[in-house]
Structure 1
Amino acid sequence: MDREKVKALLEAVAGGAVTPEQALARLRSLPVEDLRFARVDLHRSLRHGVPEAVFCQGKTPEQVIAIARRLAEAHDNILCTRAQPPIVEALLGSGLDCRVHADARLVVVKPRPTDGVGLIVVVSAGTSDTAVAEEAAVTAATMGNRVERLYDCGVAGLHRLVPHLDLLDEANALIAVAG
């Protein structure tokens, strides 16, 4: 449950649409839900502004779906990272609202527009860094930020960044990805 949903629940209690007992029942499952194979952090967005991400590597498709489904009941923009094709196929067949970002090896469950904090520039050293750079870029964009990408700048080729110094100065944050 995020701040807006907690606030809406409190307003519903104040307005009489929800009883205090009903509100307590909704809040009782907070902050962590035990799925036996995973303890899902439902309060992460209250503490950090974004919900818990699902790191798919090493998980079965069924585990990823169960975790993503529970998180999507409480939040929007659930990031399923390092998602290999069997996981992607399972998520797409799960009935969850999914947006696939193949180059980033990432699936966003329940994608919704959100407000970010500004411009994030993702800079990668080489072509082999593209998947990780895209994961960072898609994550930042999903969080509502404007994202610019400067890929294959080279570890020894920092002169390739000179034409982009104004963009780098404008950025609220830089993410550097190098092998």
Structure 2
Amino acid sequence: MAELPASNFDHDSSVQDFAMSKASYLAAHPEASFGYIATSSLVVHTRIPFVPRILLIQRAADDEDPNLWEGPGGACDDEDETILHAAARELREEAGLEVAHVSGVVGEPWFFTLDDGKKVCQFTFAVKVKGDNGTTDLNVVLDPREHQRFVWASESEVKAKKVGDVELVFTSETVERNVLAAFNYDRE
């Protein structure tokens, strides 16, 4: 795999607790019932005035959780400088977008157990991306091994679970709630 560029972004003080490595975070939270951390980045785009849309990606038909929808994200690796860097790396790998600013934590953590019994906690972040001036489309590039398509969904479309003729079935109820929470976060 080609080496990826380093992520240069800033973050709101509200996410300072995540500006540390996975190992440091777990050491600082010995009460945690999980040993693995995942991230999700919700990109809110306002190309259409007064109708913010969130980037959702559909898992590949032959991957885990086939054909289900989620925000870009994945595992925090031991090599990631911080949990925030993991979120930026996953957004770049899964959607080809570069984080400019991590605005805050959205919704609630999603706790799940992998098939091998590993307990995971996924944190969701609201992010702004480089090149988003609010007037042009963003160039989303998916990794077809993991995701097969994307949509920009408005709040009403997420609530209706449909964008045009595309049905939205999320990877979990927590993911769906966090996507909806991101619309409220963007208004605050």
TMscore range, shorter length: under 0.3
**Which structure has more helix as a fraction of its residues?**
1
Higher relative contact order (CA 8 A, sep 6+): 2
| Bigger strand fraction | 2
Q: TM-score, normalised by structure 2?
A: 0.27
TM-score between the two structures when normalised by the length of structure 1 = 0.28
